[in-house]
Structure 1
């Protein structure tokens, strides 16, 4: 195959069941005309799964090819990583990042933007520490945020950040997805003198808060979207309000934190659907520019997401300490390649988030880079092979480990009495809810199987998501409503063998086997 430009578009929290192209069954018929339009042109991967969760671990997979959750939680690019923009720029190719994903620039997440030739950050999403004014905030809007006008009110103070950041938003064009995708369209039109380019567009929408302007706020509901009793930013946790003893992105869940009435849940889903449609419409501007500039014949376009978002599904909201059902872990992947034999086809072959890294490098003709845990999809797209993966593994650091073969999804529990270990060259300060407590204590030198660089290893707790193995046949039961582990012990054994195969292939550390209740592989790290 020839060498091409690459446009990589990732859309945070985009649920696969909201996309018409995936023929899924979200409770609302969501308008996604432009994603569907792109899907008609592209190869659509039906068995694509997240790898390391949530936001920043997924980006380390995409940008460095590292299946990180077996070794590390949320954190920075490591000194021994070779990022996509760094590898590409060694080949005299320009790289550009356009994003409103403020976590890329946050404390504990350094290095993700620094190797790009140029980057643009659109400020203000979620709890981005951007504005300190206005002082007087609309109490009804704060109520919808579950916020408080006291800027020092602990957990809720971050919600007031968002209220201040968007206080002067009056038009649709002021919102985040319109800014991200309109700027992308402009960049594509302005930058065609380069011999070759890589553009990474990291849209934080459809991430919460699910705050959208009209017409989207009313598009899928008969409620008054300004009603202060109806939140568009529900807390993470179980919808029945039962307490959880595990940390979430907003802190420890408390009794009643995520308790939603049927009316409240329907409203939240309507606002998520509205935001999905807004993202879709502005993504359409990018497709229009590719048309207008005649870029399709020289550009590989990859569209994906890091994870979904529970909206009452299986009794959960957000990305809490819940089993990793497909609502969260089954993600969209659509790839247009000008020379692909698979364009316009549905693909059943299993693929994983980490495969984006090697695919981008191969599409651009960059050959002298270690793909680490990533497997390029270019040979599959070219029709050179019909096989790609037998498995995809996914999970959070220090939690259960999950595996799929494309039909069955198997959730393997962990032993909470066995510590997890984090390996890093310098990750002593990271996001507090993802890191081991006081990680500078009990640290000792160690090594990783995929790099010769020395690292520190330090202990942290394991957090179970379920007590027993769970098994679902996603062909017969796509909504994963019926756990068949007890009645299909034969399939459980097969999936455990597949998980062990994956752990051995990745050279997972010995303590992971102990934590998961397996005998360690002879050559486990």
Structure 2
């Protein structure tokens, strides 16, 4: 028994042919859907990148207890559990966040790993400032400078870190195809921004354009023209087509080596990316709309041999780890909230009624697969909001001394296995104000574009109580109930409903042919 997980970053399901997109060049995703099961109701959980990877490894939601950060000493790690059970685990990635302060404990859970440099603002190639040039103190400006330097070393597609990741992944599989009991995680940062690709992929989306060249949109409201929005979407699409070509190499290899009989294949992502929808760019500064949180998922399980079929059951990222454990005959821990998906792949057996999702300090969200409820904080203070950690690091830096002066050691939770944790007043990771954005309820059956928020207190109340059930199962801290204006014990009632905010902003879509090419109906 062997397993291959191919993981992309920021892969938007609405840009994929198996999910109804008929204009993008992605034949290998379509080919994959004919060789595997396609999930129609997969949702991410904890956002963004490293919180998603924490729940992938631990089978637990992350976002109610802490923001971006490493694996904790008390966490159950699926790669480590597999390794201890005699399954060889290997990770290949160009995702530089694993090597930053806030991700530094994930890759060492694998037996071996490989890292390829150069994505985004990866501090890779050194370039001393020229005379008269000063290094920017602004973090984002520094990232952009580093990215410009990195690109000078990636002129050929063969040199691109995505290409090198898939080269190494294919090498690992070819080297070990005749061995048993291994897992390889082939993980690329793409199609995450910046949307840097090559002419052969851009040719699929060539159109007249004389505006500013932009492949790295800011996180915030769309202020650009419709033509520039379309240009950015074309840049994203070209990079997605490059990802599709890399995926095709994996499928070709599985065909050539006849691996389908004994090798599980999971193709997934951590989240999507907003490209002008709802009047927003990117993520983390707006509610978690469907384009960002409703993710693509494909699974081939050689035990079930189901292919070319759809699955409607609601599944989440927290299920991926337990699925791998089950496949290799390793029992999950009682702390895991996810479920093995073997029977869901085989016969669409449901594993949950509802699922949570969100980012630390932003909306707390719940879906049952039809309705999506986005609960905003009770007031603009967004307090109390506490980090719970024994690894006090943020994304690229350690907690400051001022933050740590406010830390207190408290009794742990059952999932920390009786280990005490630091409780530290926190700040939301994103720049958006969830209170100002308001509480929203959507019916995806009648409003798949989430353009018309519902005002139905009875449906809202049902969704609140589903949310409370999941928060309690997650051992959410008391501060989260206070922040959300929800009862920590017992059911909610109509006094806890709060709908009625303004609908999302109008979207500056392209019109005519451009709108059709952008995949908008």
Normalising by structure 2, report the TM-score. Answer: 0.88
Q: CA deviation at 1:134?
A: 8.2
Within 2, Cα distance between the matches of 1:168 and 1:271?
Answer: 20
* C-alpha RMSD of matched pairs (Å): 2.3
Q: What residue is the counterpart of 2:423 in the other structure?
A: 457
Within 2, Cα distance between the matches of 1:228 and 1:24?
Answer: 26
Q: Which runs of 5+ in 1 are unaligned?
A: 138-147, 240-258
Within 2, Cα distance between the matches of 1:129 and 1:479?
Answer: 38
Q: Which runs of 5+ in 2 are unaligned?
A: 492-521
| 1:16 equivalenced with 2:13 (yes/no) | yes
Q: CA deviation at 1:469?
A: 2.2
Assess if the C-alpha contact under 8 Å between 1:8 and 1:199 holds in 2.
Answer: yes
1:288–1:150 distance in 2 versus 1, CA, 3 Å: farther
1:149–1:291 distance in 2 versus 1, CA, 3 Å: farther
The 5 Å alignment of 1:476-491 reads 476-484=446-454, 486=455, 488-491=456-459
Q: What residue is the counterpart of 2:239 in the other structure?
A: 275
Q: What residue is the counterpart of 1:131 in the other structure?
A: 125
Q: Secondary structure at the match of 2:461?
A: helix
Assess if the C-alpha contact under 8 Å between 1:73 and 1:434 holds in 2.
Answer: no
Assess if the C-alpha contact under 8 Å between 2:102 and 2:396 holds in 1.
Answer: no
Q: What residue is the counterpart of 2:71 in the other structure?
A: 77
The structure in which a higher percent of residues are helix is: 2
Q: Secondary structure at the match of 1:108?
A: helix
Q: CA deviation at 1:263?
A: 1.8
| 1:302 equivalenced with 2:296 (yes/no) | no
Q: CA deviation at 1:355?
A: 0.8
Q: CA deviation at 1:466?
A: 4.4
Q: What residue is the counterpart of 1:49 in the other structure?
A: 43
Q: What residue is the counterpart of 1:246 in the other structure?
A: none
Q: CA deviation at 1:223?
A: 3.9
Deviation larger for 94-103 or 59-68: 59-68
Q: CA deviation at 1:41?
A: 1.6
Within 2, Cα distance between the matches of 1:174 and 1:344?
Answer: 34
Within 2, Cα distance between the matches of 1:513 and 1:62?
Answer: 25
Q: CA deviation at 1:522?
A: 5.8
Q: What residue is the counterpart of 1:87 in the other structure?
A: 81
1:467–1:339 distance in 2 versus 1, CA, 3 Å: same
Deviation larger for 97-106 or 157-166: 157-166
Q: What residue is the counterpart of 2:54 in the other structure?
A: 60
Within 2, Cα distance between the matches of 1:371 and 1:337?
Answer: 25
Deviation larger for 106-115 or 467-476: 467-476
Q: Secondary structure at the match of 2:63?
A: helix
Aligned match for 2:195, one of 182, 186, 210: 210
Within 1, Cα distance between the matches of 2:400 and 2:453?
Answer: 32
Q: CA deviation at 1:460?
A: 1.8
Assess if the C-alpha contact under 8 Å between 2:384 and 2:480 holds in 1.
Answer: no
Assess if the C-alpha contact under 8 Å between 2:384 and 2:482 holds in 1.
Answer: no
Q: Deviations for 1:446-473, whole angstroms, at most 9, x for unmatched residues? A: 2123122221111124542545321111
Q: Deviations for 1:395-445, whole angstroms, at most 9, x for unmatched residues? A: 0011110111001111111134322111112x2232269979943022111
1:278–1:313 distance in 2 versus 1, CA, 3 Å: same
The 5 Å alignment of 1:437-476 reads 438-446=402-410, 447-451=412-416, 452-461=418-427, 463-464=433-434, 466-476=436-446
Within 2, Cα distance between the matches of 1:133 and 1:276?
Answer: 30
Q: Secondary structure at the match of 1:439?
A: helix
Within 1, Cα distance between the matches of 2:466 and 2:399?
Answer: 29
| 1:496 equivalenced with 2:493 (yes/no) | no
Q: What residue is the counterpart of 1:284 in the other structure?
A: 248
1:231–1:149 distance in 2 versus 1, CA, 3 Å: farther
The 5 Å alignment of 1:301-380 reads 301-340=265-304, 342-367=306-331, 369-370=333-334, 372-380=336-344
1:465–1:210 distance in 2 versus 1, CA, 3 Å: farther
Q: CA deviation at 1:44?
A: 1.1
Normalising by structure 1, report the TM-score. Answer: 0.87
Deviation larger for 465-474 or 434-443: 434-443
Q: CA deviation at 1:191?
A: 1.3
Aligned match for 1:236, one of 208, 215, 219: 219
Q: What residue is the counterpart of 2:164 in the other structure?
A: 179
| 1:419 equivalenced with 2:387 (yes/no) | no
1:341–1:283 distance in 2 versus 1, CA, 3 Å: closer
Q: Deviations for 1:87-125, whole angstroms, at most 9, x for unmatched residues? A: 111122211100000001112221111121111101010
Within 2, Cα distance between the matches of 1:444 and 1:396?
Answer: 23
Q: CA deviation at 1:341?
A: 6.2
1:368–1:393 distance in 2 versus 1, CA, 3 Å: closer
1:233–1:388 distance in 2 versus 1, CA, 3 Å: same
Assess if the C-alpha contact under 8 Å between 2:100 and 2:396 holds in 1.
Answer: no
Within 2, Cα distance between the matches of 1:134 and 1:213?
Answer: 28
Within 1, Cα distance between the matches of 2:486 and 2:137?
Answer: 45
Q: What residue is the counterpart of 1:152 in the other structure?
A: 136
Assess if the C-alpha contact under 8 Å between 2:16 and 2:29 holds in 1.
Answer: yes
| 1:400 equivalenced with 2:385 (yes/no) | no
